[in-house]
């Protein structure tokens, strides 16, 4: 198991997927952040789901996003709720809002910043957490 | 056609509980043992027996197997058995379901029960992914949806609700002092009760010296992980007055939530207008509409308190103060017993009495309206009970004497 402070230890990372979500993880493995957009009504939806919540159509196009977002909320994990987390703490978990996606949000770790100075509204930029089977998006403060 | 309402068409006539235990300390009893002990206590409280029981109205699975419990108890005939979907958000709503059963004639004497034993599971890590090799055995299986949270390490309810409260602080200036007021006032209610697991007073200094678990929540913002069972007996208003204790009538109830509230804490995509809420606004309004009363008529509120901050958001969603104003509302002493305008969690709540997933709140509401509560609100006539904040459904219940 690989443990990097501020990130979920690699043994806990999972890429279990279904038909609706698999393209997302295939893209992240190539360090591309893509958000599905309904080809019928243009509504983005996240996490990926099999139906559009506005028009109930199924077809999507996967739109690449540069990952420049803002921190919508966050928590700083100080306590290891399961064995194996202790060496990774503290972890800053953010809810990242992505502009131009009708409000889609990602839940992702925020790295490269002292937990004490993290604040809501902070601009963040995309980074990647690579594990053996793929890559998970994470974020850093953006100048 | 009869008016479509449950108002005054069902009554709670019995409540009962096992002792409450710290996590895993109820062993070697089983969850069914605990449930049956609570059911028998509630039936005795009502002056009823197993032969009267014909229904079960549960929530979140309630961790009992109705078929086995009915078999062990020798219930003559089960005529109704149903449960609200979801988890703890259905606690108050399970009484609404019982009311629906008796009001429609599907059953006459309905048991609602929650039994809990956290020996082989922990609610504190209930969304934790299993590591390769099986470490982290407390958790639910990882799903294509859950990995969007768990891959960031978001795996505990406290971490998830911390996100909502953190943003509430950002938007409205809510502070840790406001969270402390919830924790301390709740503890003050627990220390007088024999049933409480936390009987020592909690000072402001202790609160601020406590270790952080998931910012902004420290140790005392969390409920406990407990074992135990609580049962409630609901019957018709025709039968209720002849039983052992004064009946407490269902005045209004609602459960559910906006569709895009959805899984709430595990997806964090709720619309901005109610992200920093408890998810209760739609069902709260339906509950008040059914009852024909408003928040100003509530004498005591038993608000589901898995985390201190979520009490604040419910105070707003049930209309006791404006949206964003719950911090100053509690700072003014409003939720304290006995002097506050709206005593909250007079039994010590999930935070300090015991965490039986909200069912202790129903029991306390009944005792308040009977006039037999340990921390009695003088002249209490209307009590509010809530279940959740949680994913859909959350629920509310108004009772009157």
Identify all chain A residues contacting B212, using CB atoms and an 8 Å cutoff.
Answer: 76, 78-79
CA distance A39 to chain B (A): 21
Of A82, A94, A121, the CB nearest to B138: A82
Task: Quote the pLDDT of residue B138.
Answer: 56
pLDDT tens-digit series, residues B186-195:
999 999 999 9
Position A88 scores a pLDDT of: 96
ipTM summary value: 0.98
**Chain A residues with CB-CB distance to B150 below 8 A:** 8, 12, 14
Residue stretches of chain B with pLDDT short of 50: none
Please state the three-class secondary structure of chain B as a single string. Answer: CCCCCCCCCCEEEEEEECCCEECCCCCCCCHHHHHHHHHHHHHHHHCCCHHHCCEEEEECCCCCCHHHHHHHHCCCCCCEEEEECCCHHHHHHHHHHHHHHHHCCCCCEEEEEEEECCCCCCHHHCCCCCCCCCCCCCCCCCCCCCHHHHCCCCCCHHHHHHHHHHHHHHHHCCCHHHHHHHHHHHHHHHCCCCCCCCCCCCCHHHHHHCCEEECCEEHHHECCCEEEEEEEEEECCCCHHHCCCCCEEEEEEEEECCCCCCCHHHCCCCCHHHHCCCCCHHHHHHHHHHHCCCHHHCCEEECCCCEHHHHHHHHHHCCCCCCCCHHHHHHCCCCCCCCCCCCECCCCHHHHHCCCCCHHHHHHHHHHHHCCCCCCCCCCCEEEEEECCCCCCEEEEEEEC
3-state secondary structure (DSSP) of residue B327? helix
Q: Does the distance separating the beta carbons of B268 and A82 come in below 8 Å?
A: no
List, for residues B101-152, the tens digit of each pLDDT value. Answer: 999 999 999 999 999 998 877 788 778 877 665 555 556 678 999 999 999 9
What residues form DSSP beta bridges with B59? Answer: B84
Cβ contacts below 8 Å, chain A against chain B, sum to 134
pTM of the full predicted structure?
0.97
Shortest CA gap B131–chain A (Å): 4
Q: Which residues of A touch B268 (CB under 8 A)?
A: 72-73, 95, 105, 107
> Which pLDDT score, from 0 to 100, does residue B358 have?
96
Residues 347-366 of B with CB under 8 A from A: none
Looking at every residue in chain A, the average pLDDT score rounds to 96
Is B355 known to be catalytic? yes
B317-368 pLDDT per residue, tens:
999 999 999 999 999 999 999 999 999 999 999 999 999 999 999 999 999 9
Question: Catalytic residue at B59?
Answer: no
């Amino acid at each position: 198991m690989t443990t990097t402070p501020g990130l979920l230890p690699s043994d806990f990372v999972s890429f279990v997927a279904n038909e609706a979500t698999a393209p997302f993880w295939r893209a992240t493995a190539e360090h591309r952040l893509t958000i599905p957009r309904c080809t019928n009504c243009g509504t983005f939806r996240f996490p990926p789901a099999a139906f559009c919540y506005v028009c109930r159509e199924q077809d999507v196009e996967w739109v690449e996003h540069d990952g420049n977002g803002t921190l919508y909320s966050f928590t700083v994990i100080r306590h290891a709720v399961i064995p194996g987390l202790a060496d990774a703490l503290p972890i800053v978990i953010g809810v990242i809002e992505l502009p131009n996606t009708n409000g889609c949000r990602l839940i992702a770790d925020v790295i490269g910043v002292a937990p004490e100075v993290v604040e809501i509204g902070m601009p963040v930029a995309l980074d990647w957490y690579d594990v053996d089977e793929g890559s998970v998006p994470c974020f850093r403060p953006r100048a | 056609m009869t008016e479509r309402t449950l108002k005054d068409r069902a009554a709670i006539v019995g409540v009962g509980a096992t002792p409450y235990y710290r996590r895993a300390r109820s062993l070697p009893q089983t969850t069914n043992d605990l449930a049956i002990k609570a059911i028998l206590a509630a039936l005795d409280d009502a002056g009823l027996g197993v032969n009267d029981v014909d229904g079960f109205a549960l929530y979140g699975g309630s961790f009992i197997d109705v078929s086995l419990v009915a078999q062990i108890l020798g219930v003559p005939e089960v005529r109704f058995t149903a449960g609200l979907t979801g988890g703890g958000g259905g606690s108050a709503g399970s009484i609404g379901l019982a009311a629906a059963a008796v009001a429609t004639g599907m059953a006459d004497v309905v048991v609602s029960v929650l039994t809990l034993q956290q020996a082989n599971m922990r609610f504190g890590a209930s969304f934790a992914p299993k590591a390769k090799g099986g470490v982290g055995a407390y958790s639910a299986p990882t799903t294509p949806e859950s990995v969007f949270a768990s891959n960031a390490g978001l795996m505990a309810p406290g971490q998830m609700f911390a996100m909502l409260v953190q943003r509430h602080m950002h938007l409205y200036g809510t502070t840790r002092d406001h969270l402390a007021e919830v924790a301390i006032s709740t503890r003050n209610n627990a220390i007088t009760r024999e049933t409480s697991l936390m009987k020592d007073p909690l000072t402001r200094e202790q609160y601020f010296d406590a270790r952080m678990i998931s910012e902004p929540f420290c140790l005392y913002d969390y409920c406990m992980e407990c074992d135990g069972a609580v049962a409630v007996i609901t019957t018709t208003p025709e039968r209720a007055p002849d039983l052992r204790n004064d009946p407490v009538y269902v005045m209004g109830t609602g459960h559910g939530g906006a569709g895009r509230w959805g899984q709430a804490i595990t997806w964090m995509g709720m619309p901005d207008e109610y992200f920093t809420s408890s998810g209760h606004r739609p069902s709260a309004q339906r509950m008040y509409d059914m009852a024909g009363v408003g928040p100003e008529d509530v004498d005591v509120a038993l608000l589901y308190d898995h985390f201190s901050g979520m009490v604040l958001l419910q105070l707003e969603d049930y209309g006791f103060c404006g949206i964003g104003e719950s911090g100053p509302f509690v700072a003014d002493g409003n939720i304290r017993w006995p002097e506050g305008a709206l005593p909250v969690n007079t039994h010590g709540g999930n935070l300090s009495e015991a965490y039986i997933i909200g069912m202790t709140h129903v029991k306390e509401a009944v005792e308040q309206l009977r006039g037999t509560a340990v921390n009695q609100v003088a002249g209490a006539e209307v009590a509010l009970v809530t279940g959740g904040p949680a994913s859909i459904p959350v629920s509310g219940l108004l009772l009157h004497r």
